[in-house]
C-alpha cells in the first residue's frame, strides 16, 4: 500500500467511526445496551482518531514536522495531494500548510505543491484552508507558476477570485521571517497557538496541547449532545 493509499484508507476509517457515533446516538434511548453501544462508539472514535488522522499519528507528525523531519515533510505533501476529507480534516490541513511554509521543501515537493494549489483554485468546493494555500504560494512559486496564476486571475467568478488571492500573496513575496535567524523563525511558528486560541476561546494559548485537534477531541466522550448528533464544542 502506498502512502497515498494509506492516507485515504485511514480517512475512510475515520468516517466510518464518525458515522458509528451518530448512528448509535440516534438509537441510544432505546435501551441501556443501546446507550452503552453509543458510549463505545464515542470511545473508539476518540481513541483511534490521532493514529488514523495522519501517518504515524497526527500529534507525533506535527511535532516532527516542527523539527523539519524529511519523512514527515513528505507525508505532509502527500496528505495535501490526496486531500482526504473527514471530521476536522480542514483544521489539520491548515496546520500542515502553516508548518510547510517554513519547512525545507525540495524542488520536487515545491513543484507538487504548486500543482496542489492550482487544483484548489479550480476546485468548486469552498475550503476553510484555502487562505493557507495562498500564504504558502510565495514559498513554492517560480516564474511559470506566477504566470499561470495571473492567467487564471482574469474575469469574475469563484476561480478567478481565488487566483487573485493567490496572486496577491505572490506579489507580496516571502515574508521577511523567511530570512530571519532560527530563533526568530521559532518565534514566528509560536504565533500559531494564538490563532488557535481565537478559535477555541482559550485565554492562554501557550497552555494548549501541541495540536488543537487534541483539545477539540480531548473531552469528546463526555461532550454535550445535540439533537443532530455529537457536539465537540468546548470542554
pLDDT in the model for residue 205: 32
pLDDT in the model for residue 173: 87
pLDDT in the model for residue 125: 86
- Taking CA atoms, 36 is separated from 15, 19, 21, 29, 32, in Å, by 20, 16, 11, 10, 6
Report residue 52 as a C-alpha cell.
488514523
The Cα–Cα gap between 101 and 196 comes to 17
Element spanning 132, H or E: helix 130-140
pLDDT in the model for residue 160: 84
pLDDT in the model for residue 158: 56
Residue ranges covered by each domain of the chain? 3-230
pLDDT in the model for residue 126: 85
List, for the chain, all residue ranges whose pLDDT scores fall below the cut of 70.
Answer: 155-159, 177-235
pLDDT in the model for residue 174: 86
Torsion, Cα 101 145 7 200, to 10 degrees, reads 40
Is residue 94 a contact partner of residue 17, using CB atoms and an 8 Å limit? no
pLDDT in the model for residue 155: 62
- Torsion sign across C-alpha atoms 78, 79, 81, 82: positive
pLDDT digits (tens, 9 = 90+) for 42-73: 999 989 999 999 999 999 999 999 999 999 99
Work out the mean pLDDT of the chain and round it to a whole number.
79
Amino acid at each position: 500500500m502506498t502512502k497515498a493509499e494509506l492516507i485515504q484508507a485511514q480517512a475512510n476509517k475515520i468516517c466510518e467511526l464518525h458515522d458509528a457515533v451518530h448512528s448509535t446516538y440516534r438509537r441510544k434511548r432505546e435501551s441501556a445496551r443501546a446507550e452503552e453501544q453509543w458510549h463505545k462508539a464515542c470511545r473508539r472514535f476518540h481513541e483511534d482518531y490521532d493514529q488514523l488522522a495522519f501517518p504515524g499519528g497526527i500529534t507525533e507528525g506535527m511535532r516532527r514536522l516542527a523539527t523539519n523531519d524529511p519523512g514527515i515533510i513528505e507525508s505532509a505533501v502527500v496528505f495535501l495531494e490526496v486531500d482526504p476529507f473527514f471530521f476536522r480534516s480542514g483544521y489539520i490541513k491548515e496546520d500542515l500548510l502553516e508548518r510547510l511554509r517554513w519547512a525545507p521543501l525540495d524542488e520536487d515537493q515545491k513543484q507538487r505543491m504548486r500543482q496542489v494549489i492550482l487544483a484548489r483554485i479550480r476546485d468548486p468546493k469552498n475550503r476553510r484552508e484555502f487562505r493557507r494555500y495562498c500564504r504558502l504560494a510565495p514559498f513554492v512559486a517560480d516564474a511559470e507558476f506566477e504566470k499561470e496564476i495571473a492567467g487564471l486571475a482574469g474575469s469574475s467568478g469563484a476561480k478567478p477570485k481565488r487566483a487573485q488571492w493567490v496572486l496577491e500573496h505572490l506579489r507580496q513575496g516571502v515574508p521577511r521571517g523567511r530570512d530571519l535567524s532560527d530563533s526568530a523563525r521559532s518565534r514566528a511558528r509560536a504565533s500559531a497557538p494564538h490563532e488557535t486560541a481565537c478559535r477555541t476561546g482559550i485565554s492562554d494559548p501557550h497552555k494548549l496541547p501541541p495540536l488543537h485537534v487534541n483539545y477539540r477531541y480531548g473531552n469528546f466522550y463526555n461532550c454535550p449532545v445535540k439533537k443532530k448528533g455529537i457536539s465537540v464544542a468546548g470542554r
